Amino acid sequence: MVNDDTKIFVAGHRGMVGSAIVRELNLQGFKNIITYSHEDLDLTNQLMVREFFNKENPDQVYLAAARVGGIHANNSYPAEFIYDNLMIESNVIEASFKAGVKKLLFLGSSCIYPKFATQPISENSLLSGYLECTNEPYAIAKIAGIKLCESFNRQYGDSHNVDYRSVMPTNLYGLGDNYHSENSHVIPALIRRIHEAKEKSLYSVSIWGSGNPKREFLYVDDLARACIHVMNIDLSTYRKNTDEMCSHLNVGFGEDITIKQLARIIKDVIGFKGKLVFDPSKPDGSPRKLLDSTRINNLGWKPRVKLKEGIELAYEGYLNSPK
């Protein structure tokens, strides 16, 4: 039974997704939330993770910890992206089971789907084709996390009441985003670059790629609401809307937009008067990624924050963040 005393561990609480989940849990009245910094708990260290679970014995786990980044970061550090993410999810999921945790939610990514998957992308598209090469190591790790959850459910669901679920969010943005000059995703990268161009009164801003690929974007607080909603759906309802070998749920906004259109919205929000110059010699990534979120919509969740409103909130957060 879930109540405001349910002991909840949020792994990765300092990241954009983890911090949003903590904010939303607090808003919904949950009082017993456990968070540990990386300095106190290295999730790639199996012994530390096992000792933590034996000590804290949480009731629920939100696994939002991950090594993340944009195209440049994925291309530059493929070994770290696959190793760190495999270790984090393997250690946390296995230690959760050993400590008797019944409820866990794993956070994946829409990059798990094939590069040329039929649009909008349904959950059944998983493992149906080749992945986008620029983030394949990260995608492989996230696919492994889904299958870890499914495997523990299949083997221990009935005997140990294990109920480990997965959600696959589309491209996220919002408070707590990473605005690193090289390792950030598209919205924070554009916010930083266009803001700096405005501050320096530059004539133009150069943007990677042709600008033609289409992407879907979800404000991170909407994802947090989805995570808590999915975690607490009763098991019989969850099983009716999923399959034991395809149990993850897409979490998307429901509409996509070209990178050119996105850049123009960000330009308008920031008030930059110069030109946007696209560089087609740089990689575009997948031509389109729009998730089919029918399953989670049917389970009672829908996004609240429109794109321009979300970008305004994100830009305000950027201006207030330490530089």
Helices (H) and strands (E) in the chain, counts: 11, 13
**Active-site residue list:** 138
Q: What pLDDT digit, counting tens, does each position of 113-126 carry?
A: 998 899 999 999 99
Dihedral-angle region of residue 254 (phi above 0 means left; psi in -120 to 50 means alpha; beta otherwise): left
DSSP assignment of 73-89 equals: HHHH-HHHHHHHHHHHH
Q: What pLDDT digit, counting tens, does each position of 24-59 carry?
A: 999 999 999 999 999 999 999 999 999 999 999 999
- The CATH architecture that domain 8-177+217-253+290-305 belongs to is 3-Layer(aba) Sandwich (3.40)
User: CA–CA separation, 277 vs 205, rounded Å?
Assistant: 6
pLDDT confidence of residue 145 = 98
Cβ atoms of 74 and 48 within 8 Å: the answer is: no
Q: Locate tokens 């990268």: which residue?
A: 189
User: CA–CA separation, 108 vs 63, rounded Å?
Assistant: 9
- Dig out the tokens for 48 from the structure: 């530390």
pLDDT confidence of residue 2 = 63
- Dig out the tokens for 165 from the structure: 């679920």
Which has the closest alpha carbon to 123: 230, 281, 241, 233?
Answer: 241
Q: Where are the domains of the chain?
A: 8-177+217-253+290-305
Q: What pLDDT digit, counting tens, does each position of 214-254 carry?
A: 999 999 999 999 999 999 999 999 999 999 999 999 999 99
Cβ atoms < 10 Å from Cβ of 204: 11
